[in-house]
Amino acid sequence: MKEITLKIDSLSYGPYGVGRQQGQAILVPLTVPGDEAEVRIVEEKSNYSVGELLRLTTPSPLRQTPSCPYAGQCGGCPWQHIQYEAQLAAKEKSVADALTRIGKLDGFDLLSILRSPKEYRYRRRIRLQADDRKRVGFHRASSHELVEIDFCLIAEPEVERRLNHAKEWLKELRTRVRHIEIVESGEDGTAVLAGKAEGDFAPQDDSSNSHFLEQSKEVRGLILFGRGWRRSWGRAVITMRPEEGLKMEVDGEVFSQVNREGNSHLVRELLQWGEFSNDDRALELYCGAGNFTLPIARRAREVLAIEGDSRSVENGRINSRLNGLKNIRWIRSHVPRAVRQLRDRGESFAKIVLNPPRSGAKGLEEGLTSLRAEKILYVSCNPPTLARDLAALSRRGYRLTRVRPVDLFPHTFHVETLAEMVRTEKAR
């Protein structure tokens, strides 16, 4: 395999530093902009190559020594060797590059990134992989090889302290489990453990799980779920507070943002941009269990909330009642189908909020524009699909006005983004 000397110029939207040789991009993990390194090419593609770091000849001043001994092995935090300010700058750049290069968008304000309130100890939930030997940990980068762990520096302390409980629970289970999530409950310093199973539930686990909870006071609830089935023991819900005065109770396995304080910043920013008033009829797509829905409903006249996951919708309805919010209409539906139905009925909304999965909202632009909202707020965890979708909306009469990157995931390349689009006179 060919060995070269390479200067690293930038970071990719991924776990790589990027250098160039003879015009071709070379992606190298564990490198930092400013590094000069000896690199072995391990994979060659038509328009780029992948290399492995052999040795640093001149380390970048942006480097830092990772605090975690698993860094470089575990694939969970591929940027721990990069100073946090440099991480933030790279995330801003990844958003800007996607919008201008993929979306061909211009004329918008790219606001400075909202930094995570915590650089470490920020995750209220972690997902641990489990293997056939009943070990738990994270996968090695770009593989399914397990790196067994005894602690995790990005987990909240209450979550990390439950790691041994998760290991003990796994050893007792007869049901075959693919991964376990440890989720901080939000009360009493306790946690919920949720295991995703392969195959059927083993009936012997019913009594053993009840016994486990009796012995483990720090774990308040257990969940096992698989294809077409779900079982729970104890109080298997977590508490969320997206803003002051709101309390949500959500099933432990239902999606929730991992960065509690960062999420509060994101909710506050979205509410400020939305300028929701009691005259507004708002539509929220991919609403989940109501992280944005409930705060919006405190301000808007009516919210129509649409989500495909039935348990999230059930949780949302419960939390509407818990918080005395009667102006939310929850609909469990495939989002594209629901948007077509709204369009066909000639419905309209003042504001639209959408927070799709990483795959984005491709194909929704015609239906969205037919709803004639004055403003669309798009929350995304994937800059490339965000850029694609915003470009499609811009071709149908919406103008991108401002964008705010938000760092909810320090030491990874992932970045959340809030984008605002405003309807123009040319909207179709």
Condensed to tens digits (0 to 9), the pLDDT of residues 255-299 reads: 999 999 999 999 999 999 999 999 999 999 999 999 999 999 999
Average pLDDT over residues 249-255: 96
Residue 113 has pLDDT above 90, yes or no: yes
- Calpha distance 87→90 (Å, rounded): 5
Q: Any idea which residues carry the catalytic annotation?
A: 381
Share of the chain above pLDDT 70, in %: 99
Q: Is residue 379 scored above 90 in pLDDT? A: yes
Q: Given a cut of 70, is residue 426 above it in pLDDT?
A: no
Report residue 173 as tokens: 């289970």
**Mean pLDDT score, 244-260:** 95
- CA nearest 27: which of 74, 381, 69, 37? 37
**pLDDT greater than 70 at residue 145:** yes
- pLDDT over threshold 70, residue 427: no
Q: What is the pLDDT of residue 35?
A: 96
Q: Which domains are assigned to the chain? A: 3-63 (2.40.50.140), 88-117+259-423 (3.40.50.150), 125-239 (2.40.50.1070)
Mean pLDDT for all residues in the chain: 95
Distance CA 301, CA 328 (A): 9
The token pair at 98 is: 């996607």
- Is the per-residue pLDDT at 25 higher than 80? yes
Percent of the chain having pLDDT more than 90?
93
Give me the pLDDT at residue 156, please: 96
Place of tokens 């298997």: 236
How far apart, in whole angstroms, are the C-alpha atoms of residue 292 and residue 256? 11
Residues with Cβ < 8 Å from 326, sequence gap 6 or more?
320
| pLDDT above 90 for 349 | yes
The predicted pLDDT at position 323 comes to 97
- Find the largest Cα–Cα distance for the chain: 66
Question: Is the pLDDT reported for residue 248 higher than 90?
Answer: yes
Instruction: With cut-offs at 50, 70 and 90, classify the pLDDT of residue 428.
Output: low
- Count Cβ atoms below 10 Å from residue 89 Cβ, excluding itself: 17
The pLDDT of residue 23 = 86
pLDDT for 120: 97
pLDDT of residue 1: 72
Sequence letter at residue 370: S
